[in-house]
A = this chain, B = another copy of it.
Amino acid sequence: MTQLMLTSTVENYLKALLKLSNQGENRVSTGDLAKALHVTPGSATSMIKTLAEAGLAHHKPHYGVLLTEKGHILAVHVVRRHRIIELFLVNVLEMEWDEVHAEAEQLEHVVSDEVITRMDKLLGYPTLDPHGDPIPTADGMFIERPLHPLSQCEAGQRVQVARISDQNSSFLKFAESHGLTLGATIEVQRRNEHAESITLQSNEEEITLGFTAANRIEVEFVK
C-alpha cells in the first residue's frame, strides 16, 4: 500500500483500465492495456504492479487486472475533468469538436478542482460532452443512456445521432462534413452483411459506412 504520486502516466493507466473494463467483460489483459496506451507489455506489467502496490488495482498474474474501488473513483474523476474541459473548449473557446480531445488529454492532468468547478458552473452543470459522452457527476455517478450502435441498425430505421467516439479526430471531421453531428436525424437505407457496410440518408446525401466506422456512432431510435 505504498503511497503513489498521481502523475499523468498513472492517471492515463487508470483511465484506460476504466474504459477497457467497461467494454467487454470485466478483467483487463496486460496486452490490451499495453495496446491502449501504446507501450510494451512489459511496461504495462510493471505499472500494473505499481498500481496494485498502491491499492488502486487488483492483479492476478497471468489472469487480468481490475480497478479497486479507490482506483475506480480516481479514474472517474479524471474522465469528469476530461469531458468538462472538452465541452468548455467547444462552448467557451469555440474550438472544433475534433481538436478538443487531444487538448483535454493533456489538461485533464493539471487543471485544479477549483477550475473544474468553475467551468462546470459556467457551462450550466452539463451532463454530456461534445461527443455525447456522459459527464460523471462530482460524486462520481455516470448517467448512461440506452443507446444503440449504428452498426447494428436495420434498414428503414430512423435514428438520431447521440454519441460519436472522440478517439479519431479525422473521423470526427469526416462525420461532421456529412451531417453526422449530435442530434442529427438520419435514416438507414440498407445493410450489406457481406460487404460489412451500412448505407444512410443524411441531409440530402447518401453515405455508406463500414461496420467498424458505424460502430463508432451510437444512436437513439426515433418514433
Q: Which residues of A contact B (CB under 8 A)?
A: 89, 92-95, 99, 103, 106-107, 109-112, 114-115, 118-119, 122
Contacts and interface: CB of A to CB of B under 8 A. Distances in A.
Report the copy number of this chain in the oligomer. 2
Contacts of A89: 115
A109 B103 CA distance: 12
A93 B122 contact: yes
Contacts of A112: 103, 106
Contact of A93 (B95, B99, B118): B118
A122 B112 CA distance: 22
Given A92-B92, A110-B110, A103 B118 contact: no
A145 to B, nearest CB: 29
A95 B115 contact: yes
Contacts of A115: 89, 93, 95, 103
Given A93-B115, A103-B111, 13 more contacts: A89-B115, A92-B92, A93-B118, A93-B119, A94-B118, A95-B115, A103-B112, A103-B114, A106-B110, A106-B111, A106-B112, A109-B110, A110-B110
Nearest to A103: B112
B94 A114 contact: no
A89 B99 CA distance: 21
A116 to B, nearest CB: 10
Nearest to A107: B110
A119 B112 CA distance: 18
Contacts of A95: 114-115, 118
Contact of A107 (B94, B99, B107, B119): B107
A106 B81 CA distance: 15
A192 B110 CA distance: 45
A5 to B, nearest CB: 14
Contacts of A110: 106-107, 109-110
A109 B110 CA distance: 9
Contact of A99 (B92, B111, B114, B122): B114
B118 A111 contact: no
